[in-house]
Structure formats: C-alpha cells, structure tokens
Amino acid sequence: MRRFSLGAAAATLALATATGAALAAKEVEVLHWWTAGGEAAALNVLKEDLAAQGVGWVDMPIAGGSGVEAMTVLRARVAAGNAPVAVQLLGFDITDWAKEGALAPLDDVAEAEGWEEVVPGALKDFAKYDGHWIAAPVNVHSTNWVWANKALLDELGIAQPTTWEEFVAALEAVQAAGKVALAHGGQAWQDATIFDSAVLIAGGPEFYKKSMIDLDPEALGSETMVKAFEVMKTLRGFVDPNFSGRDWNLASAMVINGEAAFQIMGDWAKGEFLGAGKTPGEDFLCFRVPGTEGVVTFNADQFAMFKVSDPEKIEAQKAMAAAILSPPFQIAFNTVKGSVPARVDVSDADFDACGKQAMADLAAADEAGTLLGSMGHGYANPAAVKNAIYDVVTAHFNGEYDSTTAAEELVTAVEIAQ
C-alpha cells in the first residue's frame, strides 16, 4: 500500500513537472487590475480557458479601479525595458501605446478569426491603429447604470425612478429613512464615472459629444456644464461621511448588504452582486441612470500584446488573442464579469436580465448614434486630457470649487492638457 502511494506520488510529480515545463515554455505574463471579487472570478475564466490550451499564466495584478495604478506600473516597466507580454488597456491608452510603436500587430489572428466582421465599429476604432489590429477586445461595459437594493426600496415604498427628478426624490426618501442613499467611493475615477452621467443629464448626447469628445471650449465652459456640476453637487449631498477613498467594490457591498440603496457604477458592479449570490430583479435592480436613457457611455477592456522577440511568447500572445474573442469564451467570461460580448453575433440567451438589457441598449444606441465613449474610462479623450478633467471634477466634488468656477476651470485645464 505504502509502496503504491509512493509510486503514484512520484508519477504525479513527474507529470506535474512535465506539464510545468510545457507551460513555462508557452506562457503569458498579464498585467491587469482585476482584483475585486467579481473581476477575479471573470479573470479565472480567462486563465482556465488558456490553461486548457496549454498557455500558462503569470499573474501581474495591480489593484486600483479603472487601472489608474496599473498604468503607472506599466509605464515604469516599459521604461525599464521589461514590458509585460499582455496588458489590459482602455481606449486612448491603446492608441497612445500604438503610436509609440510598443504594440505587436495582431492582423494574422484577426484575419484567421474573422474579427473584422464581428467586432463593433466603436471598439474597432481603438482595437485598430493605422489599419492594423493592435488589441483584442474582451468585453463591452458601460458607465451609466444604477444598482439598487430591491428589498430596501420595497421596505421604504420607493418605486424604481424613471426621471432625474424622481431619482433625486428617491435618494431624499432613503436619506430621510436614515440609510445611506448613494454608495460612493471618493476616488477621482469614481467621481469621473458618475460625471459621465451628470453631463448627459444636464445636456443630453449632443452636448456630451461636444464637450467630452470634441472638447469644444464653448461647451466645456457653458451654462449646461455648470448644470452638470450642479448634478454632481446634488449627488454629493447623498453620500455618507466615510466615502473618501473607498474602493468601488466596497460601495457595491453597501448596496448588497442593505446599508445603502443605490450606487451609480459601471456594470462591473454586477459581478459583485452575482458573486454574493444575488439575482437581478429579485435582490437587486439595474437601470440606466435616470435622465440618460437611450445613451450608452461605453468602456471596453482590451488586451494589447507588447512587442517581444521570444517566438514562444509570440505564439502565446496569439493564442491568448484568439481565445479572447472566441464566442463560447465571450459568453463564459461576460456572464461573470457583468459586461456584454465584444462581438455582435453572440446570442443573449445565456445572459441574465441586466445583461440582456445591456445588449439591447448597446445595439439601440449604436443604431441611434448615441453609443458614446466614456470619459471616466478613457474612451472619450487621451489620458492627459482625461486626468485634467478628473482633477476638476474631484476638486468640485470635494467642495473646492462652486459649479460656475468648476466649468471655468474645466476650460483651462483641458486647454493646457492638449
């Protein structure tokens, strides 16, 4: 018996060593910021998919929502001549790295897998540079969502709000009942995430385009922009005293456990609800920020492959890129992450109610010309401009500027950053 176990252990060890050697040969080091519960669960789907194809995973997680910290680490790694093999990137950051010539072309994978026909145009604008594919989009998220605790709303007799005014009335009712009305984390990127919706509430999609995407100084300094800052001020009145610095997933947890009623956050928040065993429609509600319906401020996670010379690594990069856009993987991953597929030909059958709505909203917005890049997540303008907007939005949210001054500061900050 004893001899048998030893033999089995030795055989297992030999097998593990052989597999380990194979994995080590074909592996990707992946820099990402998916460290919250729902994010990590989705990341595991990717890790396992690659493992099944014999591609090993070297994890390089840099905590910090929206990747602010991850981008700092990436710059340092590239400057040191030690770029990661694969990197999670958003919007204009992809374009910026492509401009520097740092990204490996993925044209052969794209052609073999037929990406051209299935990836939505709004994503292609960023996944391609100068006619070449330089990133593989893994999902489509959007930022103009509200997540609500249904039991709490029922208990307080609050119906799902359908206009901005009704939303404010609902927030007031929750606050009056002694609960936290709006779960929020005071971090610049989270303030910017809700600013996407504030701009839409104040001026609609055309105004969003003019100010956030075209960076028209007149729009940036307009009365409508003052109104957007007033929306932010109103929302600021509904957060709890401990909001400063709180991570977004902890704010989601406040809604999940009934401490707070609402959170305005991208649909990665759904990953947290699902991870806690909650069901949409029963335990929580998802709906577009009232006053922004018909518009989708999108954000898509993409993986870019940094140039490497080792042929094994190049092969692993290609395997990863191909895996990311395969239809079964798109379903397996996005149903966990809270996002929707980055291809237009995937059925919504396996998605829950929020996912189905997200897919329908995306298609409708695309058709109507109201699928707009999220400023908060780097899809409206390059990092330098985005960071300048972050600074003004956060300073205003923390009471440093009144709304009129904030709009004036926005004009100057954006001008300097360009």
Q: Which stretch binds ligand GAL (CB under 6 A): 20-28, 33-41, 156-164, 170-178?
A: 33-41
Q: Which stretch binds ligand GAL (CB under 6 A): 62-70, 169-177, 220-228, 356-364?
A: 62-70
The beta strand positions in 243-321, using DSSP E, are 260-264, 284-288, 296-299, 302-305
- Give Cα separations from 317 to 99, 233, 322 (angstroms): 20, 45, 9
Strand, coil or helix: 265: coil
Cα–Cα dist 139/308, whole Å: 25
Subset of 83-102 contacting ligand GAL (CB under 6 A): 90
Other Cβ atoms within 10 Å of 5 Cβ, number: 9
Residue 203 lies near ligand GAL (rule: CB under 6 A): no
Q: How far is the CB of 193 from ligand GAL (least distance, A)?
A: 9
Q: Alpha carbon 266 to chain centroid distance?
A: 6
Q: Which is nearer to ligand GAL, 33 or 243 (CB)?
A: 33
What lies within 8 Å, CB to CB, of 206 at 6+ separation is: none
Half-sphere exposure of 201 (CA within 13 A, CB side): 27
Residue 33 lies near ligand GAL (rule: CB under 6 A): yes
Q: Which is nearer to ligand GAL, 219 or 336 (CB)?
A: 336
Q: Which is nearer to ligand GAL, 23 or 40 (CB)?
A: 40
Classify 54 in phi/psi space as left (phi over 0), alpha (psi -120 to 50) or beta. left
Subset of 312-371 contacting ligand GAL (CB under 6 A): none
How many residues bind ligand GAL (CB under 6 A)? The answer is: 13
Q: Which is nearer to ligand GAL, 377 or 396 (CB)?
A: 377
Q: Which is nearer to ligand GAL, 126 or 248 (CB)?
A: 248
Q: Maximum Cα–Cα distance for the chain, whole Å?
A: 83
Q: Which two tokens stand for residue 63?
A: 């905590």
Residue 303 lies near ligand GAL (rule: CB under 6 A): no
Q: How far is the CB of 378 from ligand GAL (least distance, A)?
A: 8
Q: How far is the CB of 25 from ligand GAL (least distance, A)?
A: 30
Q: How far is the CB of 237 from ligand GAL (least distance, A)?
A: 25
Subset of 240-269 contacting ligand GAL (CB under 6 A): 248, 268
Q: Which stretch binds ligand GAL (CB under 6 A): 32-40, 97-105, 233-241, 290-298?
A: 32-40
Q: Which amino acid is at 163?
A: T
CA triple 217-222-227, angle to 5 deg: 135
Residue 34 lies near ligand GAL (rule: CB under 6 A): yes
Subset of 267-286 contacting ligand GAL (CB under 6 A): 268
Cα–Cα dist 418/174, whole Å: 42
Strand, coil or helix: 371: strand
Q: Which stretch binds ligand GAL (CB under 6 A): 12-20, 65-73, 236-244, 390-398?
A: 65-73
Residue 39 lies near ligand GAL (rule: CB under 6 A): yes
CA triple 50-54-59, angle to 5 deg: 50
Among 299, 317, 334, 370, binds ligand GAL (CB under 6 A): 299
- Range 27-50 burial, b when 16+ CB lie within 10 A, else e: bbbbbbbbbbebbbbbbebbbebb
Strand, coil or helix: 304: strand
Subset of 137-156 contacting ligand GAL (CB under 6 A): 141
Cα–Cα dist 210/242, whole Å: 35
Among 27, 191, 301, 409, binds ligand GAL (CB under 6 A): 301
Residue 386 lies near ligand GAL (rule: CB under 6 A): no
Residue 65 lies near ligand GAL (rule: CB under 6 A): yes
In DSSP terms, 286 is beta-bridged to 147
Contact residues: ligand GAL, CB under 6 A: 33-34, 39, 65-67, 90, 141, 248, 268, 299, 301, 377
